[in-house]
């Protein structure tokens, strides 16, 4: 190949050499510009995508936090009610008319707060003997709720099914301690609010990524609570790959030999993390689509450069072309040969 090029340059005319050299110079400059433009487009597209997804994740978390803030306000309103303090201060005997009367008064007070919140199926009290103070939940065990102040400012349970709902609706239980209003910091029991998970799952289902991908909601125990997407991968596969990425906030991960761009946002209120996974192959496809127009412009610029180079080379070659036959006349001994050229 190198030999053929050298041979071509040796036998071709000066004019062709100039046109070819000028065209190669322009094409090289345009190719370098195209490479720089492609890289810059990739960086800008990734940055814009990252900013857009982070903004959507923060908005989704704020929508979820709204429900928990509302439940926290609900609990704060119920705690100082006299019926609550009375029910937790008295000894519970379900066979006693006095206890039944106290629990009915307590139920009316609670409904006064919870009736306007359709996503709250149940609110009930648990005393220090771990008894649920609710006639309809008599004999049932309270859900296990662990509080970790380092990851969340709220006490929330894992997702579980409420035994008092026939449809087996999954709920999350919120817990708040109740203290006596009359004896200082003496703990009387707990208030538990069950929230229908479908209302917060809907936030995730309504979430739309700029391009096809997977969105997950993960609690502070690194358990997938909900996900939206169609990737045939198990929750465990996602969590195992995400363990290091959640702490880093952003990064790339590999799941079953497929590379994803991982973007996360964590709520300080619940400790939950919203994670968006965007496949790099879709990301690359989007960049290719973005670059198609640039490639067309690149080809047009090359053609335009070749077309424009011809008259420029011709104007440079013309005086040389006039000089060559005159010099040949001098070689033959005609010293009177001369060139008349009036351009600058």
Q: CA 276, 279, 285: angle at the middle one, nearest 5?
A: 130
pLDDT of residue 243: 64
Question: For position 70, what pLDDT does the model report?
Answer: 93
Q: How many CA atoms lie within 13 A of 338 on its CB side?
A: 4
pLDDT band at 25 (very low <50, low <70, confident <90, very high): confident
Instruction: Give the separation between CA 81 and CA 325, rounded to whole angstroms.
Output: 113
User: Looking at residue 152, what is its pLDDT?
Assistant: 75
Residue 229 CB burial class (10 angstroms; 0-12, 13-18, ≥19): middle
- Tell me if 148 is assigned to some domain: yes
> Pick the residue with more confidence: 2 or 243?
243
At 66-77, the pLDDT tens digits run: 999 999 999 999
pLDDT of 138: 77
Per the domain annotation, does 59 fall within a domain?
no
User: How much is the average pLDDT of 252-266?
Assistant: 81
Q: Is residue 111 part of a domain?
A: yes
pTM exceeding 0.85:
no
Of residues 297, 317, 298, the one with CA closest to residue 309: 317
Least confident stretch, 126-135, 240-249, 268-277: 240-249
Domain that holds residue 132: 73-196
| Residue 11 maps to a domain | no
Answer yes or no: is 147 within a domain. Answer: yes
Query: What tokens does 287 get?
Result: 């960049």
Q: Tell me the CATH number at 175.
A: 3.30.450.20
Interval 295-310: pLDDT, tens? 777 778 777 777 777 7
Q: What is the pLDDT of residue 11?
A: 47
Whether the pLDDT of residue 17 is over 80: the answer is: no
DSSP tag of 12: S
- pLDDT tens, position by position, 111-141: 989 888 999 998 999 888 888 888 788 778 8
**Rounded mean pLDDT, 38-44:** 77
**Sign of the dihedral defined by the CA atoms of residues 103, 109, 114, 116, in that order:** positive
In a domain, 226, yes or no: no
Report d(CA 86, CA 218) in Å as an integer. Answer: 39
pLDDT at 23 over 90: no
DSSP 234-297: -HHHHHHHHHHHHHHSEEEEEETTEEEEEEEEE-TTT--EEEEEEEHHHHHHHHHHHHHHHHHH
- Rounded CA separation 160/122 (Å): 14
What tokens appear for 254 in the block? Answer: 């590999």
- pLDDT recorded at residue 7: 55
Task: Tell me whether residue 252 is in a domain.
Answer: no
Strands 170-179 and 187-196, bridge-based pairing? antiparallel
- Give the mean model confidence (pLDDT) for residues 17-30: 73
Are 291 and 299 in contact, with CB atoms under 8 Å apart?
no
Asked if residue 332 has pLDDT above 90, the reply is no
Cα distance between residue 264 and residue 214, in whole Å: 12
Least confident of 82-86, 156-160, 319-323: 319-323
Residue 233 has pLDDT above 80, yes or no: no
The per-residue pLDDT for 40 is: 78
Indicate whether 96 belongs to any domain.
Answer: yes
Tally the domains of the chain: 1
How far apart are the two ends of the chain, measured CA to CA in Å?
40
- Nearest-angstrom CA–CA distance, 338 and 324: 11
pLDDT of residue 276: 85
The number of beta carbons lying within 10 Å of the beta carbon of residue 199 is 15
pLDDT in tens, 186-199: 888 899 999 998 88
- In whole angstroms, what is the distance from residue 49 CA to residue 77 CA? 42
- Computed over every residue of the chain, the mean pLDDT equals 79
Report residue 262 as tokens: 């991982």
Cα 130 from chain centre: 41
290 pLDDT tier (thresholds 50, 70, 90)? low
Q: How far is CA 325 from CA 13, 45, 318, 319, in A?
A: 14, 59, 12, 11
pLDDT at 9 over 70: no
């Amino acid at each position: 190949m190198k030999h053929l090029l050298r041979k071509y340059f040796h036998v071709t005319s000066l004019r062709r050499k100039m046109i070819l050299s000028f065209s190669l110079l322009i094409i090289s400059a345009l190719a370098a510009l195209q490479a720089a433009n492609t890289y810059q487009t990739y960086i800008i597209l990734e940055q814009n995508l990252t900013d857009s997804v982070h903004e959507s994740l923060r908005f989704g978390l704020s929508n979820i936090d709204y429900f928990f803030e509302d439940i926290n306000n609900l609990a704060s309103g119920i705690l100082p009610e006299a019926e609550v303090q009375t029910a937790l201060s008295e000894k519970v005997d379900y066979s006693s008319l006095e206890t039944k009367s106290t629990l009915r008064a307590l139920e009316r007070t609670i409904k006064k707060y919870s009736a306007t919140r359709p996503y709250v199926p149940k609110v009930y009290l648990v005393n220090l003997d771990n008894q649920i103070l609710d006639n309809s939940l008599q004999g049932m065990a309270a859900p296990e709720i662990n509080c970790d102040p380092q990851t969340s400012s709220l006490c929330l349970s894992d997702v579980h099914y409420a035994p008092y709902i026939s449809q087996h609706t999954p709920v999350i239980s919120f817990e708040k301690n109740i203290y006596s209003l009359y004896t200082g910091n003496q703990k009387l029991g707990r208030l538990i609010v069950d929230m229908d998970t479908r209302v917060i799952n809907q936030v995730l289902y309504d979430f739309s990524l700029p391009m096809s991908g997977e969105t997950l909601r993960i609690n502070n125990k690194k358990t997938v609570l909900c996900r939206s997407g169609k990737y045939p991968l198990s929750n465990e596969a996602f969590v195992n790959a995400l363990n290091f990425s959640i702490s880093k906030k952003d990064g790339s991960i590999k799941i079953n030999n497929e590379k994803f761009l991982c973007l996360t946002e964590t709520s300080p209120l619940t400790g939950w993390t919203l994670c968006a996974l965007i496949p790099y192959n879709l990301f690359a496809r989007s960049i290719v689509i973005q670059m198609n127009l640039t490639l067309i412009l690149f080809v047009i610029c090359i053609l335009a450069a070749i077309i424009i180079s011809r008259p420029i080379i011709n104007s440079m070659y013309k005086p040389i072309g006039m000089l060559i036959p005159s010099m040949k006349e001098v070689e033959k001994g005609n010293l009177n040969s001369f060139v008349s050229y009036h351009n600058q």
